[in-house]
C-alpha cells in the first residue's frame, strides 16, 4: 500500500471525526487509508487525484466512503460529491443505506434534508453542498461539477465502460480546482474480480507493478497468492475487518453461504482473483454427455446460435439438432473466434448453406450488438426473453445430469470444455439461475451458445412453403 508521508498534513482525522459522530469509529485500516488518501501538500492541495482501494467484503468500505464524502462536503460551500456502483439501481440502493446511517448520526443537522426520490436522491448540507448517487452511464454527469467521485464495485466494469464513464466525470473535475482551490479526487473501491473485470485488472496490473502515476494512492488488502483461500484461519488473519467487525466464528458462517461456490468465497473474502474451483456442471456428468460417435445424426433441421463473451473477448457459434430424446450441439467449424469480427459473415455462410435453419442470439448483454446487426441483415431470429434464458439453462443442466443418462449431448471441443469448467451461477430470483458471465473466471460464450441452440431447436419457426398462384 502507499506509505504515509508524515511531512504532509492530512484531512484523515476529520474523516475519523465524522465517522465517530455517526457511531461508526474507524478501525485501523480505514484510518490508515483516510490519512494517506487525504494527504495535502504545502499549498493545502490533495496529493492524490485518484485513490484505489481493493478490500474483501465485510471490511467497512461503505462507512469509510460515506465519511470521506461527507467530510469533502464540509470543506466549503456548494461542493459536489458523487457515488455510483455497478448500476444506477445499485447506486441508489446503496446511497439510501448511507442516508439511513447519516440520519442516525449526532451531526445530522449539518445535512437535515435527505431527498430519496429516484433521480434526485441527495444529502443536502446547510452550506449548499450535496452528496448524490448517479448511474454509471455515458453522459451521467455531463454539465455537472464534481469535487469527489466514488466508483464502487469496480470489478463489474469493462475497460470500455470505464473509458466512457471516465470521459463523463473527468470533465466535471476540470474546472473545480480553480473554483474551489482544491484538487478533485476519484475514489475507486472494489473486491477482486474475474478475468473479465477488464477495467480493474488493467488497473491492478499497473498498480501492483509499483511503476505507476505518483498521483495515485493504492491500497490492496487480502490473502497472498500462495495462501490457501479455504484456510479460514489464514483468510481471517489477513482480513482487515477481522476482530473489529466480525469474529472467527462469523467467518465459518460466511464460508457456509458459499457452500456451492468456494471460488466466489475466495474472491469475496480473500480478495483474490481465482479460477473456478467449483463446477455448476459436474465433471463426470459433463464427460458422460460428450458424443464421440463420428456417425452424423439423422437428417433434420438445425439451429445455429451465437454468443459473445463479456467485453467482446470472443464469439462462439454452435449448431444444434434433435438427437434421440434430446439434443446434440457442436461448435461449427471456424465457429469460435476472438472478438466479434467475422461472426456475422459466418452466420451468413450458415444461412446460405442451410436455408431451413433457425438462428438465435441473446438480445441482451454482450450479444446485444450482434443480435441487432443480424436482425438488420435480415435474419429472422428466434425470440428469447430473460425468462426463456432461465428455462433454457435449467433444461440444459438437467439434460446433462439426467440420472437415466444425458439427454443433452455435445461434440467435444476445447472451448466447450473450458466454458463448462468455468461457468458459475447468476441467480435470477426464486432459486432459478443462469450461467453467470461476470462471476465466471473466463469466457463462457461456448456453453452459452450451445445452451441457446438447445432452446432454439425446440422453437424453430415454421418452414415457409412456396405457393403456386
Which residues does 240 contact at the CB level (< 8 Å), separation at least 6? Answer: 27, 28, 29, 55, 56, 59, 221
DSSP notation for 81-95: EEEE-SSHHHHHHHH
Write down the pLDDT at residue 464.
60
Tell me what the pLDDT averaged over the chain comes to.
90
For residue 212, pLDDT over 90 is answered with: no
With CA atoms as reference, report the closest residue to 435 among 315, 249, 293, 307: 307
Q: Are residues 211 and 289 in the same domain?
A: no
With CA atoms as reference, report the closest residue to 396 among 426, 365, 433: 433
pLDDT in tens, 308-351: 998 888 999 999 999 888 999 999 999 999 888 899 999 999 99
- Residue 404, H or E segment: none
**CATH code for position 51:** 3.40.50.300
pLDDT in tens, 368-403: 999 999 999 999 999 999 999 999 999 999 999 999
CB 21 within 8 A of CB 66: no
Q: Are residues 195 and 335 in the same domain?
A: no
CB 222 within 8 A of CB 271: yes
Q: Are residues 192 and 298 in the same domain?
A: no
Q: Are residues 194 and 340 in the same domain?
A: no
Domain-located, residue 268: no
- Residue 4 to residue 209: CA distance in whole angstroms: 19
The residue from 171, 204, 221 where one domain ends is 221
Domain, as residue range, for 38: 9-221
At 421, the pLDDT band (50, 70, 90 cuts) reads: confident
Q: Are residues 161 and 299 in the same domain?
A: no
Domain-located, residue 48: yes
Write down the pLDDT at residue 466.
45
Domain-located, residue 462: no
Write down the pLDDT at residue 467.
44
Q: Are residues 215 and 306 in the same domain?
A: no
Which residues does 376 contact at the CB level (< 8 Å), separation at least 6? Answer: none
- Residue 458 to residue 412: CA distance in whole angstroms: 22
Residue, of 374 and 427, whose pLDDT is higher: 374
**CATH code for position 355:** 3.30.420.240
CB 237 within 8 A of CB 56: no
Domain-located, residue 255: no
Write down the pLDDT at residue 439.
59
At 431, the pLDDT band (50, 70, 90 cuts) reads: low
Domain-located, residue 233: no
Residue environment code for 205-220, b if the CB has 16+ CB neighbours within 10 A, otherwise e: eebeeeebeeebbbbe
Domain-located, residue 17: yes
The residue from 206, 221, 236 where one domain ends is 221
Angle CA(221)–CA(280)–CA(415) in degrees, nearest 5? Answer: 90
Domain-located, residue 466: no
Q: What is the bridge-based pairing of β-strands 314-323 and 303-308?
A: antiparallel
The residue from 194, 221, 248 where one domain ends is 221
Q: Are residues 290 and 199 in the same domain?
A: no
Q: Are residues 312 and 390 in the same domain?
A: yes
- Residue 444 to residue 423: CA distance in whole angstroms: 6
Write down the pLDDT at residue 429.
65
Order of strands across the sheet that contains 408-410: 358-361, 303-308, 314-323, 326-338, 408-410
pLDDT in tens, 223-238: 987 888 889 999 999 9
The number of domains in the chain is: 2
Write down the pLDDT at residue 276.
43
| Largest CA-CA distance found in the chain, in angstroms, rounded | 92
For residue 175, pLDDT over 90 is answered with: no
Domain-located, residue 43: yes
Q: What is the mean pLDDT of residues 88-114?
A: 93
Order of strands across the sheet that contains 148-151: 113-115, 122-124, 130-133, 80-84, 148-151, 185-190, 50-54, 216-220
Q: Are residues 204 and 95 in the same domain?
A: yes
Listed range (57-61, 102-106, 163-167) with the worst mean pLDDT = 163-167
Write down the pLDDT at residue 142.
83
Write down the pLDDT at residue 469.
42
Write down the pLDDT at residue 273.
77
Polymer length in residues for the chain: 469
Q: What is the mean pLDDT of residues 244-273?
A: 85
pLDDT in tens, 132-145: 999 998 888 888 88
Q: Are residues 204 and 353 in the same domain?
A: no
Q: Are residues 186 and 315 in the same domain?
A: no
Cell of 257: 453461504
Q: Are residues 322 and 439 in the same domain?
A: yes
- Residue 374, H or E segment: helix 368-376
With CA atoms as reference, report the closest residue to 136 among 125, 145, 149: 149
Amino acid at each position: 500500500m502507499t506509505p504515509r508521508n508524515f511531512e504532509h498534513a492530512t484531512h484523515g482525522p476529520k474523516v475519523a471525526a465524522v465517522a465517530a459522530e455517526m457511531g461508526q469509529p474507524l478501525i485501523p485500516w480505514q484510518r490508515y487509508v483516510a490519512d494517506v488518501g487525504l494527504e495535502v501538500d504545502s499549498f493545502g492541495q490533495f496529493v492524490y487525484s485518484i485513490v484505489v482501494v481493493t478490500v474483501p467484503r465485510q471490511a467497512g468500505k461503505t462507512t469509510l466512503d460515506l465519511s470521506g464524502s461527507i467530510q469533502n462536503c464540509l470543506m466549503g460551500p456548494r461542493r459536489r460529491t458523487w457515488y455510483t456502483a455497478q448500476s444506477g439501481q445499485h447506486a441508489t440502493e446503496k446511497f439510501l443505506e448511507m442516508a439511513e446511517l447519516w440520519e442516525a448520526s449526532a451531526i445530522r443537522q449539518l445535512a437535515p434534508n435527505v431527498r430519496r426520490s429516484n433521480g434526485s436522491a441527495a444529502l443536502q448540507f446547510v452550506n449548499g453542498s450535496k452528496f448524490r448517487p448517479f448511474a454509471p452511464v455515458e453522459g451521467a454527469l455531463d454539465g455537472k461539477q464534481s469535487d469527489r467521485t466514488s466508483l464502487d464495485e469496480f470489478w463489474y466494469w469493462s475497460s470500455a465502460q470505464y473509458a466512457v464513464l471516465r470521459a463523463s466525470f473527468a470533465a466535471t473535475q476540470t474546472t473545480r480546482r480553480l473554483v474551489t482551490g482544491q484538487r478533485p479526487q476519484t475514489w475507486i473501491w472494489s473486491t477482486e474480480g474475474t478475468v473479465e473485470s477488464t477495467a480493474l485488472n488493467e488497473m491492478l496490473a499497473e498498480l501492483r507493478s509499483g511503476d505507476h502515476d505518483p498521483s495515485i494512492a493504492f491500497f490492496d488488502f487480502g490473502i497472498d497468492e500462495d495462501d490457501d483461500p479455504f484456510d479460514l484461519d489464514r483468510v481471517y488473519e489477513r482480513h482487515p475487518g477481522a476482530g473489529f467487525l466480525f469474529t472467527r466464528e462469523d467467518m465459518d458462517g460466511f464460508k457456509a453461504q458459499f457452500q456451492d461456490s468456494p471460488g466466489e468465497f475466495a474472491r469475496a473474502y480473500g480478495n483474490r482473483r481465482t479460477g473456478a474451483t467449483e463446477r455448476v456442471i459436474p465433471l463426470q456428468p459433463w464427460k458422460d454427455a460428450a458424443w464421440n460417435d463420428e456417425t452424423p445424426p439423422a437428417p433434420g433441421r438445425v439451429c445455429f446460435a451465437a454468443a459473445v463473451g463479456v467485453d467482446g473477448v470472443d464469439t462462439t457459434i454452435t449448431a444444434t439438432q434433435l438427437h434421440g430424446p434430446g439434443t446434440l450441439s457442436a461448435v461449427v467449424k471456424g465457429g469460435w473466434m476472438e472478438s466479434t469480427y467475422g461472426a456475422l459473415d459466418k452466420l451468413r455462410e450458415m444461412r446460405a448453406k442451410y436455408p431451413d435453419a433457425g438462428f438465435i442470439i441473446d438480445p441482451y448483454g454482450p450479444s446485444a450488438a450482434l443480435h441487432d446487426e443480424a436482425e438488420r441483415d435480415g435474419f429472422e431470429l428466434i425470440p428469447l426473453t430473460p425468462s426463456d434464458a432461465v428455462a433454457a439453462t435449467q433444461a440444459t443442466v438437467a439434460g446433462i445430469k439426467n440420472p437415466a443418462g444425458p439427454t443433452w449431448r455435445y461434440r467435444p471441443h476445447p472451448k466447450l470444455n473450458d466454458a463448462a469448467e468455468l461457468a458459475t451461477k447468476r441467480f435470477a430470483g426464486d432459486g432459478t439461475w443462469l450461467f453467470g458471465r461476470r462471476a465466471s473466471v473466463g469466457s463462457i460464450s461456448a456453453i452459452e451458445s450451445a445452451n441457446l441452440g438447445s432452446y432454439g431447436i425446440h422453437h424453430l419457426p415454421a418452414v415457409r412453403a412456396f405457393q403456386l398462384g
